[in-house]
């Protein structure tokens, strides 16, 4: 009986640890509405700071050849931009600052009171910030 109890406890700890380890990956999948994140994604950092609204951002690096996989979950509209992702503009201090050259945005109809999902990247498509806002 003790062995069964210990086995169950060990499995529970493994399950909890696995979920904590994959929390940012799961959040990224949810925001982007994709089944799995591309294999080359590295160093995902996410944070939420909304109280009455949903405000979440994730920053990571990706192999540029896999960048298009991030855009498969929504019908994004592309805009060319030229501004810096910087910790000085508000929100959580995630990742490293980088120059943003492309931004992709969608305003899902499911967000009844408004909101968006945005994917922003540098000219090489290797540094990425995604954010979700739901009013």
pLDDT tens readout for residues 105-117: 999 998 999 999 9
Tens-digit pLDDT profile for residues 56-92: 999 999 999 999 999 999 999 998 777 656 544 556 6
The predicted model scores a pTM of: 0.77
Distances from the Cα of 67 to the Cα of 22, 51, 70, 74, 126, angstroms:
20, 31, 6, 14, 7
Q: How far is CA 14 from CA 7, 44, 45, 65, 93, in A?
A: 11, 21, 22, 33, 30
């Amino acid at each position: 009986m003790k062995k069964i109890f210990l086995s169950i406890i060990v499995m529970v700890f493994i399950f909890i640890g696995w979920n904590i380890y994959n929390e940012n990956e799961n959040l990224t999948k949810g925001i982007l509405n994709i089944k799995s994140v591309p294999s080359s994604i590295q160093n995902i950092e996410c944070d939420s700071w909304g109280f009455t609204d949903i405000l979440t951002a994730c920053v990571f690096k990706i192999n540029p050849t896999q960048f298009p996989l991030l855009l498969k979950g929504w019908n994004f509209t592309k805009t060319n931009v030229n501004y810096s992702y910087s910790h000085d503009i508000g929100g959580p201090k995630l990742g490293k600052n980088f120059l943003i050259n492309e931004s992709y945005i969608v305003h899902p109809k499911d967000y009844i009171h408004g909101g968006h999902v945005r994917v922003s990247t540098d000219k090489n498509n290797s540094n990425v910030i995604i954010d979700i806002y739901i009013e």
